[in-house]
Structures are given as C-alpha cells and as structure tokens.
Structure 1
Amino acid sequence: MPAWLDTLAHFHFLRPWWLLGLLPAALLVWAVRRRGDVRRRWRDTIAPHLLDALMLGERRRLALRPVHLTALLLALGTVALAGPSWRQERPPFLDDKAPLAIAVDLSHSMDAIDVTPTRLERAKLKIKALLARRDGGRTAIYAYAGSTHLVLPLTDDASLLQTFAEALQTRIMPVPGRDMAQALRVIDADLKHEPVPGTILFLTDGVDPAAATAFRAQADSGRSQPVVLALGTEQGGPLRNGAGGLVEQDGARVFARLDVAALERFGDDSGVPVATFTPDSDDDVAWVQRHVQSHLEQMQAGDRTRWKDEGWWLVPPLALLAMLWFRKGWTVRWSAGLLLALALAAPPEARAQSSAPATQASAVRPWRFVDLWLTHDQQGRRAFEQGDFARAATLFEDPMWRGIAQYRAGQYAQAVQSFARVDSAQADYNQGNALARQGQYRQAAARYRQALRRQPQWPAASANLALMEKLLAQQLPQEKPDPDDGEEPPDLPPDQVKYDAAKPSAPGGKSLQVVLTQDAEMWMRAIQTTPTDLLQRKFALQHGQAAPAQDAR
C-alpha cells in the first residue's frame, strides 16, 4: 500500500466534537452577507422592476471581505482543536525498553581486506555508530564462530561496550566455523527473560543455510527478532593473518568473497531481514535501528500507545492569516489590542505570581518572549524531542512529563517526586523504574505491586516485579559457610587457596571441577592482561567446561 494511502486510512480526529465549531463559521458568513443584501431590504417596499433600475454599483462578483478571513480563521482553528492525527507516537520509555544483542562473527573470513581495513574492523565501526544512535539503549555483545560466547551482557554503558567491541579478534575463538543456529539459541535463551522482546543483530560475512529453519522458527515465535547485516564484497579480498601479512595456501593467497545470492536465499528461506552494509554511509545502521524499534512497536501494539496530535501544523497558516488584520482598510478591534498591550505591559513578576497556584510544585520561572506563543509544556516537549532532558524537566508543568524528563536526565530522585503527584497505574510503574535505578529495590517492588493492582494484565510491570524480588533475595545475608564444606571465602587471595587431599570428591569429580572453576575465575580477576587476551582465556575456559558436560550427556 502506498504511504499516502496508509496515512489516509489512519486519518481521524482526536477530539471530533470540536468540528461543531465549523457551523458558527459558516453561519457568520451567511449572516453578514444577508445583512449587507440591499435588494433584500427594499424588495418589499419597491417594485422589482423599479428596484433593478435603482440598484447602482451592485457587486456581481465574489469579493474577499474581512468576514471571509474571520470565518477561515475560525475554521482552521476548529480543525486544529479537533486534533487531526494519522500516526502514533512512541511511548516515552520505548528506547529504554528495546534490548539489542549484537552477535559478531569471528570466523577467519572476517579478516578479509576487501573492506578497509578489514571486515571485522568495519563491523566494529558499525557497532560504534549503532551505539551512538541508540542513545543509552541497553545493548549486549556476543562473539560466535564454531562456539558462542557472551562478551558483555545488556548494559547502557556505551564506552564499556565500545571497549569490549574493540577487543574482538578472530584469534580468540576456541572453535573455528560458523554455527549461526547455536548462536541464535544461546542469545535467545538470554533475552527471553527480558520483559520486552528484543532484536538479535548478526554482523557476519556469510550465512549458514542449515540455520534457515531455526531462524524461521525464531521469527515466527514472537520473541527476539533476528536481523542479518552482511559485510564484504562480491569481488572479495585476501585474508590478513595475525602478523599483518596475507594468508597463503599452497603458495596462493586465500580469498574470501561475499555470496550475495546465498544471502538472498537465506532471507527468503528464513523470513528474517537481511541486508548488506553501506561502505560510505550509516544507512545500514539506521536500517538496523528502525528494525529494533518497529519490532518492539509491533509487539507492544495497543499497549499504552497514543495517536500524535498534528493540529499544530495549522498554527503557521493561522498566524499568517491573523497578520492580514493589520492591512489598511480592514477592521481592527482596538479594544482587543488594548487588552493585549495591557497584558504585555504587566510586570513579569505579576504574571509569574498569577500562575503560581497552578504550579506550586515548580519554581517560579522568569518570563520570556517565547511564553507568548508556547506554553511551558510545549516548550518542554520541544526540549525533550531535542534530547535536552535536563532543560525539559525545568520547563514541564505536567508532573508526568516532568518526571519522564527527569528520568531521562538521570535525576531519579526528582523523578520519583514528580511521578508521585500523579495518581495512576502508569505513574506507579514509572516510580518503580526510578526507584530501581537508585537501588531501592524494596520500594520499587511496592510500586510495581500497586501498578499491578490497578492494571493486573501488565507484562512489563510483572517482569520488573519479579526482577526486584530476585535482587532482594540476593541481598539477604548469606549463611556463614561451614569450614568443612570445602568452600573458600570470596575474599581469599588466589595464592592462599588450599585443597583438602583427605576429603573424598563427589562421583565424577564434580567437586574438583567446581574448585578448579573458582580458582580459574579468581586467577582471571587477578592477572593483568589486555581485554583481547582476557576474552581469549575466558572463551577457552568456557569451551573446556562445556565439553565435559556434552560428553557426560
């Protein structure tokens, strides 16, 4: 369906009763025209054949008169007040709720230099651009080849994400290959505990046709949405080795080429969005972000969404038409002008004090020229849409929007106070979010319970309440360990770990494996190394622990 047809299908008025104001506009034109009809006033007194001779200078053409301008102003103002709308606006916390997991392919072909400097390095640049667009959205990074490993869990710390993304190298993977199906299972298992559906972005230079069935099932599941962005060229390029040279086999350089036809077949078979990167722009990054947001909007369709009021588009033509009132020869109501002048001449302090009872919770703001044209809430909304949340919080008079701006600005304590002034389920939920950000999990859980009492069927509130209860359970004081149970205190230095040789191990050597795992984790925390080497050792340990578990099964 064309875009204009889709817009027309969704067009409606938010406040249709205001359209009744069109009737006075039409009646005004009719009444003024009827009053100025000289022929009508004399037709009962003068014979029609004489009246025709007496009518001199009668206007036979349509002339634009002030009444027409007044009627047009009334009509446009009525339509604007009726709230024309044809699209929905995203909820204020939409970006905060949209998790994204980035799965980076670390197979050897990602070292191809057909893309400057390499495919992997270009993938890191795309991650950097994507993090800048997400503006604090929670993101996780995974690495996969023949095995899949978590690099960094969901976080909104862009600098930390960028640090670990830069540390990715193909040499750190313990198993070669490209197992996309396993990567999809591992990442989906981690994201299924999120209160809202997420998106899994695969940055790769090739696809596994055998994984198309798993991707199709994932796309139809209604959970996390897979998206594939391929890097590389059809012409391909040689592979670069770790020493900076080129990989050769039997005296010939090894080339890696992007199979575009295989990508298209994979997209058709799996039903997931597939695209190739754009080398000279970030259009591919914008494409990914649109899929992240649209997937969440589809999953949350009808859940606390609202239509956007587009009536403000009629304000400029209304202002231009109003300027014609000052045209020479047109009627000007000097009384209205005098009242406006008196209002403008009032001292700013008086105007601020007159509005103080309605905004007792907010500080008295100095009067500004923009206050003549926009309310404080409208000014706050403009600052909010520009990303200046701290300034928006000082402008909003509506406590809900002020709290949302304070939340976005990181002013969580102030946001709690603002949300507390609104008596609704949404306000309770927002209070819970702000309290959770401050680490006040018990108070946050109480707010989520109150929100669920008012709106029982609320998946996001239920999931957040479960998370708070889990965090509270973790904060409970742990029982003092028995010195004979074989567990070491958490603050014991690595070189003081001792093993009880006389104590028998459990069947299968599980106790020894647990001790070795704890020893390895403490050793990894104690060593000084680069993030790349740290990830390489971590992945090797994880793969070594997974192998015995698979053999046991």
Structure 2
Amino acid sequence: MIALGPLNFLRPEWLYALLALPLLWWWLRRRRAESATWRRAVDPHLLPHLLVRGNASTHRLAAIAATLAYTLAVVALAGPAWRQVDAPTWEAREPLVVAVDLSSAVLATDVPPTRLAQLRARLTRLLQAKHSGPIALVAFADDAFTVAPLTDDAANVALFVDALEPAVMPVDGQSPARAIAQSRELIERAGFPRGRIVLVTDHADGTAQRAARDARDAGITVSALGVGTPAGAELRTLGGQSVHVQLDEGSMRGLASNGGGDYAPLALDGSDDAVFATGEGAAARRGLGGGRTWADEGFRLVPFVMLFALIALARRPRAAALLLVVALLPRPSLAADVFLRADQRGWRSVDRGVDAYRRGKFDQAAQDFAKADTADAHYNRGNALAKAGHLEDAVAAYDEALRRQPGMADAIANRAAVLRAMKKPPPKGGQQQQPGQQGGASSHAQQGRNCAPGDSSCNRQSNNQQNAKGNAPKQNASSPPKPADAKQQAKADAAQRERMQRALQQAQAQQQKAPTQPMTPQQRERRMSDEAALMRVPDEPGTLLREKFRLEYERRQLGGGR
C-alpha cells in the first residue's frame, strides 16, 4: 500500500497501467494522420464521396472520454482508500482447554476472598464471552479429570463452574503435568491438529515443563494463568496438614515459554485475555492484526467509468449496448472458488452434503461428503450411504472415519448397527425393505430428524437418544465391558435419567386414560421402583463430578489407563 496525501492505494501496482496512456494518444493521432493522408491524395471534390466527414469537436470529446474512462478504471483497480473502518478479526476455530487446579491450594486466602472464588469468577467471565472455537474444562489435583469435553456450547460448561471445589476430587495434591496430558488427549481425540491449553495453577515443576514442550512440538500451545500471590498464605489441606502455598511466577513463565504460549496472573479486569486467545485471535490481541483497516472505495468509480465509456462509444451504439449488457449480466464470482484452500473447498462440499441430506437426496449427499477428507465427513458419508441402502459402502465410510479418528463413538455405533442390518434375513414373501428403513445410521437419522450431518454434536445427541431407548450396540459377550470413562459416565447418567422420566410419563398417561381403574400390585410396585430409581439419579453438578471422578480414578488404579 502507498499513500499520496490523504489518498491511499491498496493495490498500487495497477497504477503502472497508466503508462499505457501515451500509447493511447499515439494511436489516436495516428488515426488522424491517416485521415489527413487521404485528404492529400484525393481530389477535394471527391472527398465527400469517399470519407465520412466527422466533427472535430466530437472526435476530441470521444478521445477525452476514452482517456478518462481508462484512467478511472485503472485507479479503481488500484484500490483507492481515504477512510478507515473497523476490521472484524478472524479467529481460527482452534479448541481451547482450560485446566484448573482444584487441590487444597485453591482454598488459600492470599487473594480475597479465596483463590477458588477468583477462579470461578474468571471462568464465568470467560464462558460468557464469545469464543470462536470449542472449549473444554479439565480439573486436576494429583490426577486430572475431564469436567466437560470439547463443545461449542459454553453454557454446558458453565453449569459445572459453581460445583468446582477440592471436595469433588478423589485425591489431593498437584500434578500439572497430568493436567497437560489430559487436555492434550481431549484435543487429539477430537481430531484437531492444533489447539491451546491454559493451565491455571500457582507453580509448574520440571515434569510439567517437559509436558508443555512436548505439547508444543505436537502443535498444541500451552499457556499459564497464575493464581495467588508471591507472598502466599497458610492453609490447612483436606488431610488436615498445615502448609504454605504461594505463586511461583518464574516456573509459570517457564511453562508458558516451553509451551509456546503466554503467561499472565489471574485478573478480573480483562488484562489476562491474551492467555485465552487462540489462533489469529492471539496475534490480534498482541497487536499483530485486527483493529481498523482502510476501506476499498474503488467500486464508487465504476459508474463514472461506464459513463465515460458510453460517451466514447457514442458513435458506435451497437458496441456500447453490448458493453452495457456484458457489464450488467449477472454471473457467479470465479475468484471465490479459485483462491479457496483445499480445506475450504472441503467444507463447502460438506455444506452442500448437509443440504442434500436434509432434502432426502442421500446419493448426492454421499458424493458431496466424499470430497472432504475428514473424520466427520466420512462419518456423515456413511450415514448418507446407509440411508440410501448402500450398506457395504457405508461400512467402508465408517472405517475411513475411524482411521482418521480412532475411538469415534458415533462411527463405531453406526457401523455395528449397519453390520447387524446386513446380517438380517429379508422379510418373508420377498418384500424388500426400502432404503433408509434399515438399521445403522438411518435409525439415528430418524430419531434426530432435525439433525443435519456435519453437526457432530447433534449426531452424538441422536446417538445418546438411541442408547437411552435400549438400542445401543451391545458389547461382545466374550469380552467383559470396559469401565466407563468420564464422558461415557455422563452419557450413562443422562440416559438413565431420560429412561426414568419416560417411564414416569408413561405411567401418568396410563392413569389419565383410565383413572377409574385401580392399579394392580405389579403396576404399583413398578411405579414405586421407577420413582425410587429416578430419585437415586444424582441431579446436582457437584455430586455428578464427585462420582464421575471417583469412578475414573478407581478405574485408573485398577490399570485401566486413561
């Protein structure tokens, strides 16, 4: 960009085209000279019959109009700008995982009223702010556990903020390295090539420094948010020991340096926002982008270019009309597709596939999904193929999704359902099932009619509803069922609650239909059993977290791994 006083040119290289103006004038003078040559070679009384007499002023006006049209067109292409506007800062959809320290140290009072209160307030403000990507929450003490997996709905994460306290942790202590490992696992399992981890604690040992460096080498940035003061405070742990805790800013800065991220002390005035920024948003918050930009005003010159072009072509009405029609003819912009990256073209194909799926054109949706080489795209392609009746191809699509994202629960469940549908014998009488009425992904799509493929959270919600109805794929009877991890435990709690509520609703509906009929002892016993089971389902976030972390910790102690 160059500036000429108050005028700036965003694409100044186009101004070199003004060097062609002398050639334009030379061409016009040559045409006039050719006309003069004929006047010298032909007798004056024959000139009116051989040459079209033109008005000199008309020729001069046409030449001036052509020159102005060319000049204004070049200036418009150069991108003139004389005012600035607010530039929206683009932020990459990189995941953010916040790992918070829930050891006894958060009960210290070196920051009023307590570290825990400050931490809850900061998390609440973070979740209320608009975040461009998925966010997850991890709690750690001597071990780390997932409070909420990566999700675009920050309100779901906010439900657990007030329940965060050391009492929900199955073991006390501080192990920031395990928190980094747990956070990194959430990002990698979700299929993101990069992301950001924010560790909220008061110190980082050597093991945490190495974990942060390993995460940075894997493309995941690790930032640090210090909680507490260097002076620290005395406190009594949950085990009854009296200890002194303090903020070690040196180790926290070292953690951020090894992780390629930022460090800031916890603050409620927004001065620590750069710690949570991801992708391009991080650069913008550090002053490397965003803010105000020059507005391209070249389009304002286009009407004048067309006006002078029409004046220049006044004696050529056909050419002028053709030029006007071509200029006003609507046509798609080719530049929008030419300059797209491969991943952007893929996501456009996914959008087209979603639209085709909603309209019931499953074959077309499968073709569109095949143009994007991601785990979600192959998973949705499997759903479309299953709905279209191509069960073998659907299984292959699910296999492709699992190769790119091993352990994808939805793909595993749909693949098993499709395989079961393939093994079913055809109905008696030779009547075949219509495509889309078989098992597999079609059952998920029928339960989630408002779910579009490509919306992974919506698809997974449909799977939860499928499992809640008792149609979840069964495990192999020859192998014992694996203990549920944190995410599976949450799904199980939700499914159990839904089953109990459905049972009560059915019982109430039956009573309304036949209020005069007395309940049989079996019906009364079943109703009482359902009500008791529903009351046993924990509905308080703190209780859910405590039980979930306890089960996960016991599983790890038994050698189940992470």
Normalised TM-score (structure 1) = 0.51
The 2-side partners of 1:337 and 1:315 are apart by 30
**Conserved? CA contact 2:386–2:394, under 8 Å:** no
CA offset digits 1:84-118 (Å, max 9, x no partner): xxxxxx999x73xx444332211233344726782
CA 1:545–1:241: 2 relative to 1, 3 Å: closer
Which residue pairs with 2:515 in the alignment?
Answer: none
CA offset digits 1:129-172 (Å, max 9, x no partner): 46x3135x3x3322101221222333334332221233212322
The 2-side partners of 1:91 and 1:427 are apart by 24
The 2-side partners of 1:400 and 1:534 are apart by 37
Mapped pair 1:471 → 2:413: yes
Which residue pairs with 1:206 in the alignment?
Answer: 202
The one of 295, 314, 317 equivalent to 2:298 is 317
CA 1:422–1:439: 2 relative to 1, 3 Å: closer
RMSD: 6.2
Match of 1:103, SS state, is: strand
Which residue pairs with 2:8 in the alignment?
Answer: none
CA 1:524–1:193: 2 relative to 1, 3 Å: farther
C-alpha displacement of 1:177: 2.0
Letter in 1 for 2:132: R
Which residue pairs with 1:114 in the alignment?
Answer: 111
Within a 5 Å distance, the mapping from 1:181-260 to structure 2 comes to: 181-199=177-195, 201-219=197-215, 221-222=217-218, 224-232=220-228, 257-260=246-249
The 2-side partners of 1:165 and 1:445 are apart by 45
**Conserved? CA contact 1:100–1:198, under 8 Å:** no
Which residue pairs with 2:138 in the alignment?
Answer: 142
C-alpha displacement of 1:36: 4.2
Which residue pairs with 1:304 in the alignment?
Answer: none
CA 1:122–1:427: 2 relative to 1, 3 Å: same
The 1-side partners of 2:556 and 2:23 are apart by 85
The one of 236, 261, 264 equivalent to 2:250 is 261
Letter in 1 for 2:166: T
**Conserved? CA contact 1:26–1:71, under 8 Å:** no
**Conserved? CA contact 2:138–2:144, under 8 Å:** yes
Which residue pairs with 1:290 in the alignment?
Answer: 278
Match of 1:425, SS state, is: coil
Which residue pairs with 1:275 in the alignment?
Answer: 263
Letter in 2 for 1:114: V
Letter in 2 for 1:30: L
Normalised TM-score (structure 2) = 0.50
The count of aligned residue pairs is 392
The 2-side partners of 1:316 and 1:123 are apart by 42
C-alpha displacement of 1:228: 2.3
Mapped pair 1:404 → 2:392: no
C-alpha displacement of 1:222: 1.7
Match of 1:125, SS state, is: helix
Q: Unmatched 5+ residue regions in structure 2?
A: 3-10, 41-62, 80-88, 284-293, 338-344, 421-472, 482-494, 501-531
C-alpha displacement of 1:323: 3.0
The 1-side partners of 2:346 and 2:186 are apart by 36
**Conserved? CA contact 1:219–1:272, under 8 Å:** no
CA 1:283–1:199: 2 relative to 1, 3 Å: farther
CA 1:291–1:152: 2 relative to 1, 3 Å: same
Within a 5 Å distance, the mapping from 1:252-401 to structure 2 comes to: 257-268=246-257, 270-276=258-264, 279=267, 282=270, 284-285=272-273, 287-291=275-279, 316-320=297-301, 322-323=303-304, 333=314, 335=317, 339=321, 401=348
Within a 5 Å distance, the mapping from 1:386-465 to structure 2 comes to: 401=348, 404=351, 425-426=371-372, 432=378, 434=380, 446=393, 462-464=403-405
Match of 2:298, SS state, is: helix
Within a 5 Å distance, the mapping from 1:165-180 to structure 2 comes to: 165-180=161-176
Letter in 2 for 1:119: Q
CA offset digits 1:177-228 (Å, max 9, x no partner): 2101122233434544443334352341312222244325423542544332
**Conserved? CA contact 2:198–2:225, under 8 Å:** yes
CA offset digits 1:299-340 (Å, max 9, x no partner): xxxxxxxxxxxxxx996224336437769x986859599959
Match of 1:201, SS state, is: strand
Match of 1:133, SS state, is: coil
Which residue pairs with 2:432 in the alignment?
Answer: none
Which residue pairs with 1:133 in the alignment?
Answer: 131
**Conserved? CA contact 2:136–2:151, under 8 Å:** yes
CA 1:179–1:417: 2 relative to 1, 3 Å: same
